Amino acid sequence: MIDVAPLIDSTPLIGKPEALRARWEEDGVLFLRGVMDEDLIAWAREKYRGALAAEDLIDPAQEVPAWTGKQPKTRRPIDALGTPVWHEIVKQPELNAILRDVFDADPVWIPIAAHRNGMPSGPVIEGQDLFAGRHQDGFFNEGIQFAICWMPIRDVDMRSGSFAVAPGTHSRGVLHVESDDGYDIPAGVIADNAWRAADYRVGDVLIFNYLTAHATLPNPSNEIRMSLDVRAIPAWAPQPVIGAVEKVEGGDVTIRTDAGDLRTVHVDDDTFIRDMNPRPRVPTSELERIAFPGAHVMAMAREDGRATVLRRNFY
């Protein structure tokens, strides 16, 4: 049995900017019920089902997305959808109004989205680490001050492996430690009783800070969990450079933005060059594996042009 303490419901704070911001600053988490248009989410759910059926992971004739037992051909099958769902989600007026109150500024949506399919993971074993995938998105995206908006595409409860956050961890700095296995937050750094989760319903949104630790809980059901997360930055915050690589000369990467401007960022050994596989850091010597003419990328740079992060961007 998965037993995690419940999240505080911040829905009563909608429309009260000062109270909403106070909880945001204190917890780094806002759990909100019924924010998203349920018809929009239903439309997105059919898109998700189509992508899962295309890899023979579900039977499209069945309403319940029971796993067929087949293995995914790609890491995130639903990411094959591309941009259509993302574009519709980020236009939602109520979500934008809430973020405007949280940021005390307009939200700027950055083209990062993750269409997630949580595969069944088998029965929960006594003593199992429920938070084994714990991480902070900010560690992998240094300098990009975004809020993550996570939402269920189908009702998600503890039975089908919910989603957990650790309120307050955003004020503790980076908790990741480099090891032979990657860049994990070790067990014990965050107490098990610090985690919070919920039985999420379609329409709900969980908004959390880029340094708030979070984890996907085990999925002991036979159903594939469906969720989406999108990201926005306050208009007052430094903005990343987004566009297509024009050229690469040594450690200098020149990017043509959507506005047609040319911006050059410098990559060195301190830059987190991101791939999107389970071990995401790419050595500087392999820069052109990520940044090559025509590749769409996102880079965050300091005032002197040195990049803190450079990542492929598919949106």
Q: Is 239 exposed, middle or buried (0-12, 13-18, 19+ CB in 10 A)?
A: middle
Which two tokens mark 282? 């790419």
pLDDT of residue 2: 79
CA-to-CA dists, residue 263 to 162, 194, 235, 248, 280, angstroms: 41, 42, 19, 12, 24
Which two tokens mark 127? 């003593």
53 φ/ψ angles, rounded to the nearest 5 degrees: -65, -35
CA-to-CA dists, residue 250 to 52, 112, 134, 168, 241, angstroms: 41, 27, 35, 41, 19
Angle, to 10 degrees, between the axis of helix 93-103 and the axis of helix 17-27? Answer: 70
Domain 5-234 homologous superfamily, CATH: q2cbj1_9rhob like domain (2.60.120.620)
Contact 202, 41 (CB under 8 A): yes
Going by their DSSP bridges, the two strands 147-152 and 205-209 should be labelled as: antiparallel
Q: How far apart are CA 73 and CA 56, in angstroms?
A: 9
13 three-state secondary structure: helix
Q: What is the pTM of this model?
A: 0.95
pLDDT of residue 121: 93
Q: Is 279 exposed, middle or buried (0-12, 13-18, 19+ CB in 10 A)?
A: exposed
Q: How far apart are CA 304 and CA 301, in angstroms?
A: 8
Over the chain (315 residues), the average pLDDT of each successive run of 10 is 90 98 98 98 97 96 96 89 92 98 98 91 92 93 96 90 95 88 86 96 98 96 95 97 96 95 96 77 92 95 96 78
pLDDT of residue 278: 52
83 three-state secondary structure: coil
Among 142, 156, 100, smallest CA distance to 280 is for 142
Task: Pick 241-312's CATH classification: 2.60.40, 1.10.3470, 3.40.50, 2.40.50.
Answer: 2.40.50
The domain spans of the chain are: 5-234, 241-312
pLDDT of residue 76: 86
